[in-house]
Amino acid sequence: MSAVDKAQAAIDKYGLADSSSGVFAGQWLEARGEVFTSDDPTTGNPIGDVVGGSTEDYELVATASLAAFERWRMVPAPQRGEFVRLIGVALREHKTDLGTLVSRETGKGLAEGLGEVQEMIDVADFAVGLSRQLYGLTMPSERPDHRLFEQWHPLGPVGVITAFNFPVAVWAWNALIGAVCGDTIIWKPSPITPLSAVAVTKIVNEVMAGSGHEAVFSLALGGVDDVGDALVNDPRVPLISATGSCRMGREVGVAVARRLGRSLLELGGNNAVIVLPDADLELAARGAVFSAVGTSGQRCTSLRRLLVHRSISSDMEKRLVNAYQGISIGDPLDENVLMGPL
């Protein structure tokens, strides 16, 4: 089967060829917001449509997530970890299909698409272990017949806003750890890569279906005006974890702080590599190219500046030019292509 056929098979497997709903609140809802078309960045052709939620749809998601939290927080942490373990098992089974879909929708290389799903699996394994290690201290009290101890309490529904360049792994970093801690998750994915989010939600719901905890992992695709502002300004959501540009981070951070909520912001960087005269220049060049070219430079950790001592600048420049001349650019599903059109 060709790479193109594999990509189409993944789309068909998750039922994404036709229009899909981007709103899940324990069950798939008939979304009433903006329609987002996912375009294949390799060809420019549309892959599929996902209907985003309206502000009213977001309210249904938030209400369901809050109700699910009241039940989920009372489930023992190791049992919550068992659900996450099963999600990790499901992701292993879907790794090839989901990774292929991620690569086609984002335009990054297949190795990176598969690697992103592997990150989800790794975080699931970490979270399962964490579910049995939510320890607290016990301390002696100065008062007779008293004792002091720490007990960690879940926060509530957690909002997770993800970016287009890592459409599934960032969700897992937040959602799977949050879930074992007793939190429920409201996911607002990037409208640029909605199909990957719908596919992940379907995979997760295969695990959660029939448990009574289906709304632990909710989905609310939508624009800033319809869903984004409602989520960020919702006092029922005590924590917003947002990944994206610095501009987005400033807006989210201020809005959440205004209502005395908490923020986790993973934003863009202006990262530099410093190369001194005693450096291994071959190693430095390879590291610089990998950091700058990996994910087509669309990482918060991507290299943007190279600060080189003048005594070795000419040598370093030649090495970089030679390395860049050897970079293959094209269809990300071609195993011989290093850089796709992300």
By the 10 Å C-beta count (0-12 exposed, 13-18 middle, 19+ buried), 45 is classed as exposed
Of 56, 266, 282, 335, catalytic? 266
Give, as one character, the DSSP assignment of residue 310.
Answer: G
H/E element holding 123? Answer: helix 110-130
Residues 6+ apart with CB under 8 A from 247: none
- Relative to beta strand 217-220, strand 239-244 is unpaired
Distances (CA, A) of 193 to 18, 98, 101: 15, 13, 10
Tell me, yes or no, if 266 is annotated catalytic. Answer: yes
Residues in contact with 12: Cβ distance below 8 Å, sequence separation at least 6, in sequence order: none
Q: Of 171, 175, 184, 186, whose CA–CA distance to 213 is shortest? A: 184
Maximum alpha-carbon separation in the chain: 75
Question: Using CA atoms, how far apart are residues 85 and 80, in angstroms rounded to an integer?
Answer: 9
Decide if 36 contacts 221 (C-beta within 8 A). yes
DSSP state of 169: H
Dist. CA 228–CA 205, nearest whole Å: 23
Q: Which of 181, 300, 317, 335 is catalytic?
A: 300
d(CA 285, CA 273): 10
Whether 34 is a known active-site residue: answer: no
Check if the beta carbon of residue 185 is closer than 8 Å to that of residue 175. Answer: yes
**Annotated catalytic sites, by residue?**
266, 300
